[in-house]
Chain A
Amino acid sequence: MENSRALLEDNGVRIAAASYDSEAVLRKFSDEHRIGYALLSDSDSSVIRSFKILNTNIAPGMRSYGVPHPVGYLVSSGGVVLKKYFVPNYQHRVTGSEVALLELGVRTSGGGERLTSGPLTVEVVLSSDRAFAGQELGVRAAFELEPGWHLYGQPVPPGCSPVAIRFESASVIEQSFEFPRPRLAKLGTLDGTLPVYEGKFEALGKLLLKFPIDAGGIELEGTLSFQLCSDTVCEAPDSLKFTLSVVIEPFMVPRPRR
């Protein structure tokens, strides 16, 4: 998180991390790892309880009793939750680079690929070029269409193909994409309207990587499917394959306490 702090701070968002550790433990961790953001000590887990995220799987008496479920919140300066992040593998929290890419539109270190088909250009970018197995990655797809052309949103009648992105890689176990709300357009001589995208727009997605994955470089293959139509012609439904590279960090178990 320290690595992407500048990305967020430059864009007006600050970081804080809360745990049930004592101030002394946090001070030591902060000094050892040169942490530049606030580490908050909720030593009796009272704030964790007030957020209703106490992990009730832990039996009282165990060392980890009182821990929270690992949740991240992006909140406004007034305290309203803008986004919430939960990654099942507790060793990996939401990453700063994912927030920077998805929420702030900041260009991050992740690999990307530029796809073109006639009047359509799409740039698909990952939030980071490195990840741990079990971690979540952000994806942003920036679309640009030449004037006079559109893609379909949802829902569309049979025969029309809406724009969609899907990762086929076996390393991706969950994925979701959010497209903006399409415009309802009356097209040509058609009765009624159809949902369309024109000009520039962005889709934002999340990928959850499986666990475990062997360390090293992997390729995440995906498909962009779409149908290009202008005011006068509609091309056949089409698709473009793309591949995004990410390096999987070695499987790590925290070192035992001395």
Chain B
Amino acid sequence: MATDIPSDLEAKAEIMREFMRLRAAGKPVPPELYAKHVNATNDNYKTGPAAGERIPEFALPDQYGARRSLGNLSGPKGLLLVFHRSADW
């Protein structure tokens, strides 16, 4: 599926812009373009700490402005911490 990914950033950006142009215009995005967009944006993905490794310490504000870190987020059996793109777009 991920065979036709351009390697340079500008070509990737063009796929993303085309995707965003259609979306902003309220036009349907063809599934092929959508797939290209997903591939271009996820190419060479890195997934961070491996199983068995420790995650870096962090302290970030939550949606209510409270400072949150692993200690006050985790349940007794752990935490499912998910990184995602944006809640805005």
| A→B interface (CB under 8 Å) | 1, 8-9, 11-21, 23, 25-27, 29-30, 35, 38-42, 47-48, 50-59, 62-64, 67-86, 88-91, 93-94, 96, 99, 104, 134, 173, 210-212, 251, 253-254, 256-257
A39 near B70: Cβ-Cβ < 8 Å: no
Given known pairs A14-B79, A64-B86, the reply for A71 and B53 (CB within 8 Å) is: no
9 residue pairs bridging A and B, Cβ less than 8 Å apart? A21-B88, A40-B60, A58-B16, A72-B80, A73-B49, A73-B55, A73-B82, A84-B47, A254-B23
A12 near B41: Cβ-Cβ < 8 Å: no
A53 near B78: Cβ-Cβ < 8 Å: no
B81 near A212: Cβ-Cβ < 8 Å: no
Binary per-residue interface labels of chain B (57-79) against chain A in the complex, 1 for a CB within 8 Å, 0 otherwise: 11011111100101001111111
In whole angstroms, how far apart are the Cα atoms of A58 and B89 in the complex? 15
The distance from the CB of A46 to the nearest CB of chain B, in whole angstroms, is 9
Given known pairs A56-B44, A75-B70, A254-B89, the reply for A19 and B83 (CB within 8 Å) is: yes
Known: A69-B48, A79-B57. 19 other contacts (CB 8 A): A14-B73, A23-B63, A29-B63, A41-B62, A48-B83, A50-B58, A51-B49, A55-B45, A58-B41, A59-B12, A64-B16, A69-B42, A70-B83, A77-B76, A84-B50, A88-B38, A94-B82, A251-B31, A256-B24
A74 near B47: Cβ-Cβ < 8 Å: no
The distance from the CB of A12 to the nearest CB of chain B, in whole angstroms, is 3
Given known pairs A90-B38, A212-B31, the reply for A51 and B87 (CB within 8 Å) is: no
Q: Interface centre among B26, B68, B86, by most A CB within 10 Å?
A: B86
A16 near B1: Cβ-Cβ < 8 Å: no
Q: Interface centre among B9, B38, B41, by most A CB within 10 Å?
A: B41
Q: Using Cβ atoms and an 8 Å threshold, which residues of chain A touch B80?
A: 8, 13-16, 72-74, 94, 96, 99
Residue pairs across A and B with CB atoms within 8 Å: the count is 250
The distance from the CB of A169 to the nearest CB of chain B, in whole angstroms, is 16
In whole angstroms, how far apart are the Cα atoms of A40 and B41 in the complex? 22
In whole angstroms, how far apart are the Cα atoms of A226 and B22 in the complex? 51
Q: Using Cβ atoms and an 8 Å threshold, which residues of chain A touch B85?
A: 19, 64, 67-68, 70, 90
The 7 closest A-B pairs by CB, nearest first: A12-B77, A29-B87, A26-B63, A14-B75, A68-B83, A40-B60, A51-B48
Q: For B38, give the chain A residue with the smallest CB separation.
A: A89
Q: Using Cβ atoms and an 8 Å threshold, which residues of chain B touch A76?
A: 74, 77-78
B86 near A19: Cβ-Cβ < 8 Å: yes
Q: Using Cβ atoms and an 8 Å threshold, which residues of chain B touch A20?
A: 86
Q: For A42, give the chain B residue with the smallest CB separation.
A: B60
Q: For B1, give the chain A residue with the smallest CB separation.
A: A173
Q: Interface centre among B10, B48, B56, B75, by most A CB within 10 Å?
A: B48
Q: Using Cβ atoms and an 8 Å threshold, which residues of chain B touch A91?
A: 38
In whole angstroms, how far apart are the Cα atoms of A11 and B16 in the complex? 40
